[in-house]
Amino acid sequence: MSRIRSMAEYEKAHKESMDNQEKFWGDYAEQFTWHKKWDKVYSGDLNKLDYKWFEGAKLNMSENCLDRHLATKGDKTALIFEANDPKEDVKRYTYKELHHEVNKFANVLKDQGVKKGDIVTFYMGMVPELLIGIVACTRIGAIHSVVFGGFSAVALSDRMIDAESKILITNDGSYRGTKIIPLKETADEAVAKCPTVKSVIVCKRTGNDVNMASGRDVWYHDAYNKAADNCAPESMDSEDPLFILYTSGSTGKPKGQVHTTAGYMNWAKFTFENVFQVEENDMYWCTADIGWVTGHTYITYGPLLSGATTIMFEGVPTWPDAGRFWEVCDKHKVTHFYTAPTAIRALQAQGLEHVTKHSLATLKVLGTVGEPINEEAWEWYYKNIGKEKCPIADTWWQTETGGIMISNLAGVTPHKTSFATRPLPGVEPSLVDADGKEIKGNPADGNLCINRHWPGMTRGIWGDMDRFRQTYFTTYPGKYFTGDGAKRDENGLYRITGRVDDVINVSGHRIGTAEVEDALNQHEKVVESAVVGYPHEIKGAGIYAYVICTEKPADINAFKKELAQLVTKLIGPIARPDKIQMSSGLPKTRSGKIMRRILRKVAEGENDKLGDISTLLNPDVVAEIIEGAKKI
Ligand code: WT7
């Protein structure tokens, strides 16, 4: 099937994907390189959770990302690396060069004893070796697990232990604006707690002093120089795991979402080319970090599978000044720009002078992802960045979905302020009421579910299928429950309203309230805590923690600082509470359950919307909490 280029084609494609799923995806998959074709396009369902795509086929992901393009696009730029420091030289890799680097890295991994099916953890800055490294894993059939470089040693070791990872790839350090983040130091602390990790490969970036443990640590460039040039792509089964990626849920520790090879590959390419509509000579830039799923699907796999040029940016939006994004857009003649609402709001707050200095004339398409985009930010983005000529693709999806699920197709189906609009072909969304009944007709308001599986859907939680079923399939049996609320307007267009579970979207990053509570509770003076989200001008949602202590701390501010540092140490700076309120108790039901609804309303400042509190075990505490909140 060729690309969708009109509203009529979209409607036809969506209908076909619903009525004849087998033919739709079977036809699409023909374009890839297969060592063996599939026996069946798909099978299984959301009750048994036994769904599979392209069963029986054999293929290799890296071959489809790189080798497949060599004859026609070998000299086309595949990857552009824009460093943190604007004065540093830009690095460019053609498809041929990237192919070479991936082959080399694959051999480095093999030389370190990595085998098909092993899990390789990455804890790196945004440098080319991260992208090259994960694609190299797919060449030899190893499963990558990327841990965002902002996570703490504890968070990193938790993930390596859960995955039983034998090898870690890291940097000496990474640049972030004027700072150097000492990644190797944090990695050492993490590895000390992980008996399964036998080797650590260190890619040099910042040149800061690091400790190299003999017999365990190797420099990447040393290993690279010894490695052979060519590495034959391993023949993988369609349903072999491609990568795992940890993400937060409403309870417990982060879950390793498992994505498999053929289904994800189809989904990554299909969604990338249809949503963004990138043409042969376009310049595509997604500002995400490869530590998140956006960087997996829309910096790495989607663009490479499509033979596009992808830009990788190491720095931050506000250094050397708040015009950095726009400077990079002009420098590389960016045509497609994909970022998060939190970045848009942060830059909006810095004033227009940072924008108007730059031309932005090459831009054709804008994208947004990670959290609901408020109308003001949408309008600002549309007017000042897109100069009212670029469609904004508001792309709703999740780590679990592998790729974009609901979005307008840029310039093909219309956008609408703050609406993700229409489901992609293959996606059958539904809104469900509190009793689990599907709400038919428009307009509608409910919990967002997906009624059938699609190629890019997660295949489960690493090592914990019970939790997988429990988390996503018990609330509304037979449907995948996303955890988001949504509205459908009178024309059936979707607007995502945000999480309805105990997950907070802080700057587009998922933080489970339970994770933050667990961290706070580790402080010896903390008896109990409750964490909720509240509206935050820049971050979308901020973290608000209510804390009960054994005794009143002598210096409240110092104590709050200690708590914030504890959360940073145990999870990372992204989970650091924005507000901490000390309290003598928490509102509870008679069965002892914390009434988060009340805490949420107080944190939001909506004290008149608390509802009936008379049935609480301790109604008096509510007045204390309301009073306390005024002083925060
Ligand atoms: C959660 C998933 C998708 C890659 C980055 C985040 C929220 C995501 C949108 C959007 C409104 C959005 C949802 C979702 N979200 N995109 N366009 N509009 N909300 O992936 O960390 O797995 O988070 O992000 O709440 O459930 P993630």
277-330: per-residue pLDDT in tens?
A: 999 999 999 999 999 999 999 999 999 999 999 999 999 999 999 999 999 999
- Alpha carbon nearest to ligand 1 atom 19, residue: 371
Cis peptide before 320 (omega within 30 of 0): yes
- Mean pLDDT, residues 402-427 taken together: 98
Q: Is the CB of 407 under 6 A from ligand 1?
A: no
Q: What percent of the chain stands above pLDDT 70? A: 100
Report the 10 Å Cβ neighbour count for 33: 11
Q: Is the CB of 499 under 6 A from ligand 1?
A: yes
Query: Which atom of ligand 1 lies closest to the CA of 510?
Result: 21
Sequence-separated (6 or more) residues with CB below 8 Å from residue 432 = 438, 439, 446, 447, 448, 449, 476, 479, 481
The CA distance from 397 to 420, in Å, is 10
**pLDDT band at residue 578 under the 50/70/90 scheme:** very high
Cα(370) to centroid(ligand 1), Å: 4
226-242: per-residue pLDDT in tens?
A: 999 999 999 999 999 99
Q: What are phi and psi of 199, to 5 degrees?
A: -145, 150
**Among candidates 456, 515, 45, which has minimal Cα distance to 267?**
456
Residue-level pLDDT at 252: 82
Query: Which atom of ligand 1 lies closest to the CA of 288?
Result: 5
Continuous H helices in 427-535? 465-473, 513-521
Q: Is the CB of 395 under 6 A from ligand 1?
A: yes
Q: Is the CB of 371 under 6 A from ligand 1?
A: yes
The CA distance from 593 to 589, in Å, is 5
- Mean pLDDT, residues 597-610 taken together: 93
The CA distance from 103 to 10, in Å, is 38
**pLDDT band at residue 1 under the 50/70/90 scheme:** low
Helix (H, G, I), strand (E, B) or coil at 505: strand
Q: Is the CB of 287 under 6 A from ligand 1?
A: no
- Mean pLDDT, residues 530-537 taken together: 96
Cα(72) to centroid(ligand 1), Å: 35
Residue-level pLDDT at 54: 98
All structural domains of the chain with their residue ranges: 503-630
- Alpha carbon nearest to ligand 1 atom 13, residue: 371
Cα(496) to centroid(ligand 1), Å: 9
Cα(510) to centroid(ligand 1), Å: 8
- Mean pLDDT, residues 180-199 taken together: 97
Q: Is the CB of 495 under 6 A from ligand 1?
A: no
446-502: per-residue pLDDT in tens?
A: 999 999 999 999 999 999 999 999 999 999 999 999 999 999 999 999 999 999 999
Residue-level pLDDT at 250: 82
Residue 72: pLDDT over 80: yes
- Mean pLDDT, residues 557-572 taken together: 97
Helix (H, G, I), strand (E, B) or coil at 354: helix
Residue-level pLDDT at 369: 98
- Which residue of 396, 417, 461, 511 sits with most ligand 1 atoms within 8 Å of its CB, as the best mutation to test the pocket? 396
Residue-level pLDDT at 202: 98
Q: What percent of the chain stands above pLDDT 90? A: 95
Residue 95: pLDDT over 80: yes
DSSP state of 89: P
Architecture of the 503-630 domain: 2-Layer Sandwich (3.30)
Query: Which atom of ligand 1 lies closest to the CA of 496?
Result: 11
Q: Is the CB of 245 under 6 A from ligand 1?
A: no
Average pLDDT across the chain, whole number: 97
- Alpha carbon nearest to ligand 1 atom 23, residue: 398
Q: Is the CB of 294 under 6 A from ligand 1?
A: yes
133-161: per-residue pLDDT in tens?
A: 999 999 999 999 999 999 999 999 999 99
- Alpha carbon nearest to ligand 1 atom 10, residue: 396
Cα(396) to centroid(ligand 1), Å: 6
3-state secondary structure 372-414: CCCHHHHHHHHHHHCCCCCCEEECECCHHHCCCCECCCCCCCC
